[in-house]
Amino acid sequence: MELKDRFLKYVSFDTQSDESSTTFPSTDKQLVLLRYLAEEMRTIGLTDVSIDEYGYAMGTLPATPGCENAPVLGFIAHVDTAPDMSGKDVKPHIIEEYDGRDIRLNASLTMRVEDFPELPLFKGHTLIHTDGTTLLGADDKAGVAEIMTAMEWLVAHPEVEHGKIRIGFTPDEEIGRGVDYFSVERFGADFAYTVDGGMEGELEYENFNAAGAKIHIQGLNVHPGCAKDKMINAIDIACELNRMLPDWQTPQHTEGYEGFFHCVGISGTVESADISFIIRDHSAERFEAKKVLMWDVVNFLQRKYGENVVTLTMKDQYFNMRKMVEPHPQLIDKAMEAMREAGVEPIVRPIRGGTDGARLSFMGLPCPNLFTGGMNFHGKFEYCSLTTMQRAMQVIINLARLWAK
C-alpha cells in the first residue's frame, strides 16, 4: 500500500485517548486500530504478530540470511490522538505542490504564514492538512504509517540485508500511560527508535524530566453579606497559588533547555477548587528545585489558611532519557548516517516534551526519537508533509540496513 493511502486510512480511525478513564487502554476505540494493525502485519508478511490484553500490537521482520547475529532493532509508534481536540471524522485535504502561502482550511479559518512562519519551508512539498474542525492525527499515525510502509518495502526487497526487526504500536501515549504495561522483555529488541517527532531531520535523545501536580483547595462558603473573617474562598486561593509561582517560568516565556510550571487546569467554586500543573525541566537539579518550590508554596498557604485547606498530590511522570542513551553512541551515529543517506540533514535538539521512548529508555530499551513530518500537533492547524514522511520512511529502511553491518 502507498504511504499516503496508508496514512489516510489510519487517520480515519478515531483513537482519542481519555485522561479521566481508569481502564487501559483508556478508550476501546484505540483497540480497533491496534487490531487492524496486527492483521495488517500478518498480511504484509511479518511473523510473531501478537496483540495482548493491553492492546500492544507487535510483529517481527526476520533477519535476512547471514544477519541473524546483528542487534535486534525496534521501531515504535503510538496510535492514540490527543484529548485536546476531536479526532473523529477527520477530513484530510491534500495540496499536491504547496506554494508557501496561507492555507485556507475552511470558509472561516485560514492557517497563516504570519502565525506559522515555518510554512514556507515546505514550499514544493505535498501537504496534508485538516479542514479546521478536527486535528489530523499525524501524531502519531504518520509514524505508524512510515514504519508499516518501510516494513512492507523490506519484505518486498529481500536483497536488502538487515537483522531481526521488531515493531510495536502502543496506546495512550498522549496521556502519559503509553508503556505502563509494555514488556521490554517480550518486545525483545536490543535498541529501538520511536518514530514520533515533527520537523524533518529531528533526532531527539534529550527530553524533559516531568511531574504532575494536583492541588485541592477546600474553602468555606458563607453568605457574602456576613463573610468577614469567616469565608475561605477556594477560587481566590487557587489564583494566589498560581501567582506565587514565577511567571517567567511558563511555557510562553521559555524555550530550549528552559523548564517551566504550566497550569493546565483550574475549576471550582468558593467552597471547593482544584488546580493542576505540569512541571518540566531538562536539568535534574532544576527539576527537583521546581518540585521543592511547589511544595514550599503549598506549605506557605497551609500555614496561612490551614493545613486541611490546601492539599498537594505530586507524581513524577518521566525522566530525561539522555543518560540512558549516551552510553550507546551508535544509536545516534547510525541515525545521523541514515538521515544523510536519505538526503536529510540531522537536527539534534532536546524535546520540549516527552515520548514513550523516554520511559522505555529507563526500562532498559534505549530509544531515541525520529522525525515524522507532522507539524502543529494536537489542534486544528495540524498538518504533515508527505514529502518528509517519505524521507522518514527511507530513514527507517536505511537504519535497518546500517544496523546489520
Beta-sheet pairing, 347-348 with 202-204: parallel
**Distance separating alpha carbons of residues 58 and 43, to the nearest angstrom:** 14
The active-site residue, picked from 14, 80, 172, 206, is 80
* Beta strands at 73-78 and 191-195: parallel, antiparallel or unpaired: parallel
d(CA 96, CA 222) in angstroms, rounded, equals 63
Q: ∠ CA 257-193-134 to the nearest 5 degrees?
A: 75
Set 40, 139, 146, 173: catalytic member? 173
Residue 5 among the catalytic residues = no
The whole-angstrom separation of Cα 36 and Cα 319 is 32
Q: How far apart are CA 215 and CA 130, in angstroms?
A: 36
Q: Which residue has the cell 517481527?
A: 60
**Count of other CB atoms within 10 angstroms of residue 370:** 27
Is residue 354 within 8 A of residue 207, CB to CB? The reply is yes
Is residue 52 annotated as a catalytic residue, yes or no? no
166 bridge partner residues: 60, 74
Q: Which of 104, 224, 149, 175 is nearest to 359 (CA)?
A: 175
Give me the residue label for grid cell 500511560: 177
Per the DSSP assignment, residues forming a β-bridge with 215 are 275, 312
User: Exposed (0-12), middle (13-18) or buried (19+): which is 384, by Cβ within 10 Å?
Assistant: buried
Beta strand segments in 334-387, E: 347-348, 369-370, 374-375, 383-385
Residue 185: how many other CB atoms lie within 10 Å: 9
381 CB-near residues (< 8 Å, 6+ apart): 105, 111, 116, 129, 130, 132
Identify the three-state secondary structure at position 182: coil
| Residue 322 to residues 205, 212, 222, Cα–Cα distance (Å) | 6, 21, 52
Residues 6+ apart with CB under 8 A from 247: 253
Residues belonging to the active site:
80, 173
